[in-house]
Structure 1
Amino acid sequence: MIGSLTLDQLRVLVAVADAGSFSAAGRKLGRVQSAVSQAVQTLEDAQGVQVFDRSGHKPRFTPVGASLLEQARHVLSSVGRFEAVAAGARIGLEPALNVAIDPFVPTAPLIDSLHALRGAFPDLPVNFWTEGIGGAERRLGDGSASLGVCLLVPAPPPSLTAYGLMDLRLVAVATPGHPLVQLGRPLHRVDLEAQTQLVLSYPNDQDGTAFGIVGSRLWRFVDLGRRLDFLLAGLGWCKVPHHLVAPHIAAGRLVELVIPDESIMQSASLRIYAAHGRDRPLGRAGGWLLADLRTRLRTAPTPTQPD
C-alpha cells in the first residue's frame, strides 16, 4: 500500500493496457473480469480521477488515464529493480558495479566481457567511465570506482590490489613526411631531441608528469584522440601502443621509427592491470568480471591489428 494506492492496482492497470480489455486482463492475471473491474474502480475512486472512458463498446483510456499508465509502468519497473537489488544482496551481489578504464585498454575483449557480465547479472546496475590516462587509478583512489582496468605507472601503488592482464607493445611513429622519417636511417637520441615529442600527461598533475620523455621539445596531451590528430597532422612523433596505430601504419599514414637506443625504447611495452582498492574487496559481480577479463586477455593474442 502506498497511501491509498496499491501495487496490485498498478499491475491491473498495466495488464488491461497490455491485454486490450478487462476480460483479457482477467485471464492474464488469473482473475474474473469483475475483480479486474473492481480494482480499476477502486483506483479511480481513491485517486479521484477517471482512468477509463466507458461510454463506448470497450473502455478506453482517458488522457489522464494514459498518463497514469505511463507512471504505473515506471513505478513497477522501479519496484522490479528494488526487488532485484534485494535478491542480489542476499547472494552477495553488490548493489552496483562501478568500472573505470584508461584509454589504452583494448576495446574488443572489454566489450565482450561487459556483454557477458550483462548476461550473467541482467539486473545489476553498471556505472562505467572511460577516463584519460591515470583517471581510472584516481577513481580507485577516491572510491568512486570499484574496479579499474588501467595503467599503473610506474608500478601499482600499495593501496591497490592489482592483477596484470596483458602487455601492449609500444612503437615510435611519425608521418611519412616528418623529418625523422626523411632521415631514412635508424635514429639516435640527438635526432629525437631536435623534434617535438607528443606525450600523454596525467590530468591535474601540477608538474605535468609524463613518461618516456626524450628531450625538452614536448607537447603534452591528456586526450589520446587529440594526440593522434596532432600526430597524423605531422606535428610531432610519439610512442604509442601498436594496436592503436596499426591501421594508420598499414595505410601508409604513419611510419614506425627505428630506434636502436635501448635507453629510449626500454619501456617498449605497457602493462594493463585490473585493480581494486586493497581495503575494498570486489563483490560477486566485480569478481566475476575480473575473472572473465583475465581469461579473455590471457587466451587472446596481444593486439597487433585493429580491434
Structure 2
Amino acid sequence: MANPGYPTFDQLKIFLAVVDEGSFNGAARKLNRAVSVISYGIVNLEAQLGVSLFEREGSRKPKLTEAGQAVLSEARGISNDVDGLRAKVRGLLEGLEPEVTLAVDVLIPSRRVAVILREFQFAFPTVSLRLHAEALGAIAALVLDGTAQLGIGGPVIADDPAFERSSAGSIELIPVAAPTHPLALIKQPSPGVARAYTQLVLTDRSPLTEGRDFGVMASRSWRLADLGAKHALLLEGIGWGNMPREMVQDDLAGGRLVELHLPDHRGGNYPLSALWRRDQPPGPATQWLLDRFVERGASDPQPSL
C-alpha cells in the first residue's frame, strides 16, 4: 500500500491560492509568482500526495477532483494553524501574554463578564484565557499566589501591600426571600425581626478571610459556597439573604422572590476593585481586561457598603 509523501507548506499555499482565485493565473498574481511556478508547485504537490487534485480535461477553470475536495479542508486547517502559530509568536515577540487567567467575583453579573470576554476574544484572538469565578477573599488569594494575573472582587483584604488596585464599580445587593417566607408576609417589619430567621450566607473558600462574616445579621445562618445554590434555596423559601439585584430581577418580576424592606438591613452597593500584584504589572492583554472592567464599572452606583 502506497504512503503519501510530505508536502511543503508552500505547496499547500499554492494549492489554496489556485482554489481561492479560481485559476493558475490568479494564484500567480496573488502570490507574485510566475504561472509556471504555480503549475510546478501543483504538480509536485500531487506527486507528493499520490493523487490528482484538479481535473485536467473538460474545463478551462481548475476544477477539484474528489480527492482534491477531501484535501482542501485539511489544507485549510493546516494553513489556519500555521497562521495562528505565527500570530501567537508575533505576539510573544511584542510582549503579548500567551495566556491570561482572570478571577471574578460570583456576584458580578454574568452578562457583564460575557460581554467583556467576547470583546477580548476579538481583540486578542491568539491569547488563551482561564476564568475563575470565586467569592470574597478567594479572588485576592488567586492573584496573590500567582494563579491569576487579574482579579475583579469585593472589599476584602483591601489593605494588603502586595496589591495594586483600581475601582471597578459596584453591585447592588438587596435582601430577598420567597413570597411564602414569614419575613415576606410581614407588611411592616420592625427593627431586628430578621435576626430570628435563618439567613443564607455566601461563605468564603479562601484562608485569607476564613472565619470572617460579611453582611451577616441573623443569629442563625446557613453558609453556602455556591451562589447558585443560595439562589435555589431562596426560591424554595429556605431562609432569606442578599442577592445581586440584576441576578434576581426576573424572579422579582415573576413573583418567585420578593424584596424585603427591612428597616435595619436595606442592602447596598458592594464595591468592586480590580486587583493585580504590585511586582507583576499587567501585560497588554491583561491591561485591556483591567481597563474594560474599570470602564464598565464607571457607570455603576457609588459604593455604600
- Scaled by the length of structure 2, what TM-score is found? 0.79
Total equivalences in the alignment: 294
Structure 1 position 50, deviation (Å): 1.5
1:162 to 161, 165, 169: 165
Structure 2 match to 1:22: 24
Q: 1:66/1:146 Cα in 2 relative to 1: closer, same or farther (>3 Å)? A: farther
Q: Kindly indicate whether residue 56 of structure 2 is the aligned counterpart of residue 52 of structure 1.
A: no
| SS of structure 1 residue aligned to 2:95 | coil
Distance between the aligned counterparts of 1:80 and 1:30, measured in 2?
A: 19
| SS of structure 2 residue aligned to 1:173 | strand
Q: Kindly indicate whether residue 175 of structure 2 is the aligned counterpart of residue 172 of structure 1.
A: yes
Matches within 5 A, 1:132-151: 132-134=134-136, 135-151=138-154
| SS of structure 2 residue aligned to 1:131 | strand
Residues 140 and 276, structure 1, Cα contact 8 Å, conserved in 2:
yes
Structure 1 match to 2:131: 129
Structure 1 position 48, deviation (Å): 4.5
Distance between the aligned counterparts of 2:103 and 2:27, measured in 1?
A: 45
Q: 1:72/1:152 Cα in 2 relative to 1: closer, same or farther (>3 Å)? A: farther
Structure 2 match to 1:244: 247
Q: 1:213/1:122 Cα in 2 relative to 1: closer, same or farther (>3 Å)? A: closer
Structure 1: gaps spanning 5 or more residues = none
| SS of structure 1 residue aligned to 2:189 | coil
| SS of structure 1 residue aligned to 2:165 | strand
Structure 1 position 158, deviation (Å): 3.4
Q: 1:281/1:87 Cα in 2 relative to 1: closer, same or farther (>3 Å)? A: same
Structure 1 position 107, deviation (Å): 4.4
Matches within 5 A, 1:270-285: 270-285=270-285
- Scaled by the length of structure 1, what TM-score is found? 0.79
2:184 to 172, 181, 185: 181
2:98 to 95, 98, 115: 95
Structure 1 position 17, deviation (Å): 2.7
Structure 1 position 193, deviation (Å): 3.4
Residues 100 and 149, structure 2, Cα contact 8 Å, conserved in 1:
yes
Structure 1 match to 2:301: 302
Q: 1:51-77: per-residue Cα shift (whole Å, max 9, x none)?
A: 525464356545554444333222222
What amino acid sits opposite 1:125 in the alignment? V
Distance between the aligned counterparts of 1:65 and 1:244, measured in 2?
A: 52
Distance between the aligned counterparts of 1:254 and 1:154, measured in 2?
A: 32
Relative to structure 2, which stretch is displaced further, 54-63 or 138-147? 54-63
Q: What is the alpha-carbon root mean square deviation over aligned residues?
A: 3.3
Residues 12 and 36, structure 1, Cα contact 8 Å, conserved in 2:
yes
Distance between the aligned counterparts of 2:145 and 2:131, measured in 1?
A: 14
Structure 2 match to 1:31: 33
Residues 95 and 125, structure 1, Cα contact 8 Å, conserved in 2:
yes
Residues 124 and 285, structure 2, Cα contact 8 Å, conserved in 1:
no
| SS of structure 2 residue aligned to 1:169 | strand
Percent sequence identity over aligned pairs: 33
Q: 1:216/1:49 Cα in 2 relative to 1: closer, same or farther (>3 Å)? A: farther
Structure 2: gaps spanning 5 or more residues = none
Q: 1:79-104: per-residue Cα shift (whole Å, max 9, x none)?
A: 22232233334443323333232221
What amino acid sits opposite 1:177 in the alignment? T
Q: 1:285/1:48 Cα in 2 relative to 1: closer, same or farther (>3 Å)? A: closer
Distance between the aligned counterparts of 2:139 and 2:41, measured in 1?
A: 51
Q: Kindly indicate whether residue 220 of structure 2 is the aligned counterpart of residue 221 of structure 1.
A: no
What amino acid sits opposite 2:73 in the alignment? E
What amino acid sits opposite 1:302 in the alignment? P
